Amino acid sequence: MKVVVFGSTGNTGIELLKQALERGHRVLAFARDPGQIALSSPRLETLRGDVLDRAAVANAVSGAEVAISVLGVRLGHPPGTVRSKGTENIIAALTAAKVPRFISVSTIGVGDSQQRLSFVARAFLPRIIGAERLREAQEQEAITVRSKLEWTILRPPRLLDRPGTGHYRLGTDLRTGMRTQLHRADLARALLDQMASSAFLRQCPSVIN
Ligand SMILES: NC(=O)c1ccc[n+]([C@@H]2O[C@H](COP(=O)([O-])OP(=O)(O)OC[C@H]3O[C@@H](n4cnc5c(N)ncnc54)[C@H](OP(=O)(O)O)[C@@H]3O)[C@@H](O)[C@H]2O)c1
């Protein structure tokens, strides 16, 4: 399949590109600085652009069969509106180009996943993640849910840069706590698995190791 990846230079993004290519997909990596992508394959194309630029995003999705977004702002930086406005631009572009499938990443602690946090996590997670960052993730989810696309939003816990285990749990009933975590390579695997699955269509499952 031809997949367009937003957030392709991030820690999850690079892993996603690698695994998508290993699976034989054609990949378009949308990035502010494609020079950060040290991968080469005849099936990998890069496109320079900012997700806040509507025209650039529209250009990126043309010809794609599915879009995956792992957009974010690195911890320690103000969250801004990349996740909300960026997602709005991606959805507008996908809708206009009639590309129905959109798979993205939010975070545990948003929406109904909050009710399945342990007592301690419910008290501390909002402080660790930050209220502004949580609001951005909520807004990103709300924009996606309102769309007419065939969306799936995966909600991971704390992400770790460790080799993939090859195993993850995905579900809308998973309970999580302060120690729940996920290797980024397993998040990438879970996102790519969604391309061939409609099990969580228009749902927001949590994904954990
Ligand atoms: N860190 C955690 O423990 C954790 C936990 C739960 C959920 N999450 C969520 O999981 C997702 C992936 O996390 P991650 O840590 O792998 O991501 P990350 O390393 O922070 O990467 C974020 C990506 O978004 C891109 N980006 C930011 N602003 C952009 C813009 N205006 N235009 C185009 N691209 C832009 C970045 O590009 P540049 O290289 O140009 O900056 C980068 O490629 C994020 O949505 C994050 O919020 C993270």
Residue located nearest, by CA, to atom 35 of ligand 1: 7
The candidate with the shortest Cα–Cα distance to 149, out of 80, 191, 101, 93, is 101
pLDDT value of residue 150: 98
Neighbours of 40 (CB within 10 A): 7
Backbone angles phi, psi at 188, to 5 degrees: -60, -45
What's the CA gap between 22 and 190, in Å, rounded?
14
Say yes or no: CB of residue 71 within 6 Å of ligand 1. Answer: yes
pLDDT value of residue 166: 93
pLDDT band at 74 (very low <50, low <70, confident <90, very high): confident
pLDDT value of residue 126: 85
**pLDDT tens across 5-42, in order?**
999 999 999 999 999 999 999 999 999 999 999 999 99
Ligand 1 pocket mutation pick from 32, 103, 174 by most atoms within 8 angstroms of CB:
32
Residue located nearest, by CA, to atom 11 of ligand 1: 70
3-class DSSP assignment, residue 185? helix
What is the percent of the chain with per-residue pLDDT over 90, rounded to a whole number? 94
Locate the domains of the chain by residue range.
2-106+132-154+181-202
pLDDT value of residue 39: 97
**pLDDT tens across 173-196, in order?**
999 999 999 999 999 999 999 999
The topology under which CATH files domain 2-106+132-154+181-202 is Rossmann fold (3.40.50)
Residue located nearest, by CA, to atom 44 of ligand 1: 72
Residue located nearest, by CA, to atom 34 of ligand 1: 7
Going from the Cα of 82 to the center of ligand 1, the distance in angstroms, rounded, reads 9
- 76 has a pLDDT exceeding 90: no
Say yes or no: CB of residue 69 within 6 Å of ligand 1. Answer: no
pLDDT band at 125 (very low <50, low <70, confident <90, very high): confident
What's the CA gap between 57 and 104, in Å, rounded?
15
- Listed as own residue / partner, the contacts of 173-176 with beta carbons closer than 8 Å and 24 or more positions apart are 173/116, 174/116, 174/205, 174/206, 174/208, 175/116, 175/117, 175/118, 176/108, 176/113, 176/116, 176/117, 176/118, 176/121, 176/206, 176/208
